[in-house]
Structure 1
Amino acid sequence: MLRHFNRIYTQRVGVLEDSFLGMGRPLSVSRLLYEIGAVDSIAVAVLREMLGMDSGQLARTLRRLEREGLVTTTPDPADRRRRIVRLTGAGREVWQEMEARSDLKASELLTPLTPHQRRRLHDALETADLLVRAATVEFCEVPVDDPRARTAQHAYFAELHDRMGYQDPGPEPVTPGAVHLVACSDGQPVAHGELRPEPTIPDAGELKRLWVHRDWRGAGLGSRTLRRLETLARDSGYARLYLDTNSALAEAVSLYDHLGYRRVDRYNDNPDAELFFCKDLIGSRDSGPGADTTAALT
């Protein structure tokens, strides 16, 4: 079905045409121009990661846009090893025309549909967008000072503040042996969790700061992140995992119950924690892809 949809949709919107939207450029060039114009400026390295382009292809496409007078590429004042690209005045005019033509194309596709059919299509595309993006996220282990880990943790504490009035404690001392797992889409963190040694219990690890971006909830990232952390814990030689949470985070509590974590007595002095969980890793099996996917925070 996915392949069938791709064939039909790409035909309908002119993806295969040499002149996408009738503007004299193929889709690959137009897409790059769009991403540059969607922000004031963007690093070339970020563009490469966002679009999945190899360095040679990206360099050739940028040179074409520069020859057309649509973009400029300059060293980043904060780090001259990096290059920043932005639209010129002429590039902004082309970008705005491309936006107008894209809106018109979308309107032409929707015009034959009734309001009810449009709502159905909107809901279906919204779900498909979330699930396809979730299927293509990239998980990576990073140190605590990695910008992606920091961004994720700032978002984690910001949500705790909104929901519980919790204050961000600021930078913590680096825990020896700690691993941060970050799920990224288009170079941006969308899920995060930390695995660290539990200092008071032999052969045990502890999970901290499990977080999923608000816009990505319902796509299974909470359970996927947790299972990957469990795999890291097994590979690190831990026999069991502990975690704590607050009873106000009902979706997280539900996830832990579903994935086989059992309630235990308090094992630390965290004043904000009300519930404590443990899971034996040796011989344990998780609940697989059908596990609850709504968890957001722990």
Structure 2
Amino acid sequence: MTIENIRQFNRYYTRILGVFDKKVFNLDYSMIEMRILGEIARNKGTTANHLAKFMRMDRSYLSRIVNKLEKVGYITRQNDPADKRIFRLFLTDKGETLNSFIEEQSDKQILELLHSLDAEEITQLETAMGTIETILNQVVPKEMEEM
């Protein structure tokens, strides 16, 4: 029953957030593409290898997305000064603008989702989410921890 309940919650939560929408906020980008953009924004100078481990993604799939985002001018790669074999990822000004738009729209989406809840219900929701994180952080592989 536990596995079924967790999987049901995962399906429910991903559905209400629109995780599987082909386009995010009517843009020509998927949720995973915008998530990668956001992770680069939050972790300036991260590497593709670290992103792949953190997001538990196939490196070649991540590489294709990074290449696409670079080609359209949202990200740039820079050699690590200490090791020229390593490329660090950064958002361009264009990428920062897009990421800001995505963050604002994501905030609006959550506000709309919560608009009918009162303060006590929001506190209960936050507590429940904190509990889930606390419990799962005990079993999460190290590379998946926050960057």
TM-score, scaled to structure 2: 0.90
Pair 1:186-2:144 in alignment: yes
Provide structure 2 residue ranges, at least 5 long, that are not aligned to the other structure: none
2:20 matched to which residue of 1? 16
More helix by share: 2
Q: For each residue in 1:115-138, what CA deviation from the matched residue of structure 2 results, as whole angstroms up to 9, or x when unmatched?
A: 11111001001111222232222x
Question: Compared with structure 1, are the counterparts of its residues 38 and 119 closer, same or farther at alpha carbon in structure 2 (3 Å cutoff)?
Answer: same
1:165 matched to which residue of 2? none
2:78 matched to which residue of 1? 74
Bigger Rg over Cα = 1
1:135 matched to which residue of 2? 139
Provide structure 1 residue ranges, at least 5 long, that are not aligned to the other structure: 138-183, 190-298
SS of aligned partner of 1:42? coil
Pair 1:124-2:128 in alignment: yes
Contact in 1 for aligned 2:48/2:89 (Cα 8 Å): yes
Regions of 4+ moved over 4 Å: none
Contact in 1 for aligned 2:53/2:143 (Cα 8 Å): no
2:40 matched to which residue of 1? 36
1:110 matched to which residue of 2? 114
Question: Compared with structure 1, are the counterparts of its residues 16 and 29 closer, same or farther at alpha carbon in structure 2 (3 Å cutoff)?
Answer: same
Shift of 1:185: 4.3
> Please, what is the CA RMSD of the aligned residues?
1.7
Shift of 1:100: 0.3
SS of aligned partner of 1:84? strand
1:88 is aligned with what amino acid? Answer: T
SS of aligned partner of 1:134? coil
Contact in 1 for aligned 2:44/2:89 (Cα 8 Å): no
Q: Superposition pairs for residues 157-176 of structure 1, below 5 Å? A: none
* Equivalent residue for 2:59, pick from 50, 55, 58: 55
Contact in 2 for aligned 1:18/1:26 (Cα 8 Å): yes
SS of aligned partner of 2:25? helix
Shift of 1:80: 0.9
2:120 is aligned with what amino acid? Answer: H
Shift of 1:66: 0.8
SS of aligned partner of 1:72? strand
Number of matched residues? Answer: 143
* Equivalent residue for 1:87, pick from 73, 80, 91: 91
SS of aligned partner of 2:78? strand
SS of aligned partner of 1:21? coil
Q: For each residue in 1:89-146, what CA deviation from the matched residue of structure 2 results, as whole angstroms up to 9, or x when unmatched?
A: 0000001011101110110111111111111001001111222232222xxxxxxxxx
Q: For each residue in 1:203-248, what CA deviation from the matched residue of structure 2 results, as whole angstroms up to 9, or x when unmatched?
A: xxxxxxxxxxxxxxxxxxxxxxxxxxxxxxxxxxxxxxxxxxxxxx
Aligned equivalents of 1:54, 1:6: Cα separation in 2: 21
Contact in 2 for aligned 1:133/1:185 (Cα 8 Å): no
Contact in 2 for aligned 1:71/1:86 (Cα 8 Å): yes
Identity %: 27
TM-score, scaled to structure 1: 0.46
Aligned equivalents of 1:31, 1:133: Cα separation in 2: 21
Contact in 1 for aligned 2:79/2:88 (Cα 8 Å): yes
1:4 matched to which residue of 2? 8
1:116 is aligned with what amino acid? Answer: E
More strand by share: 1
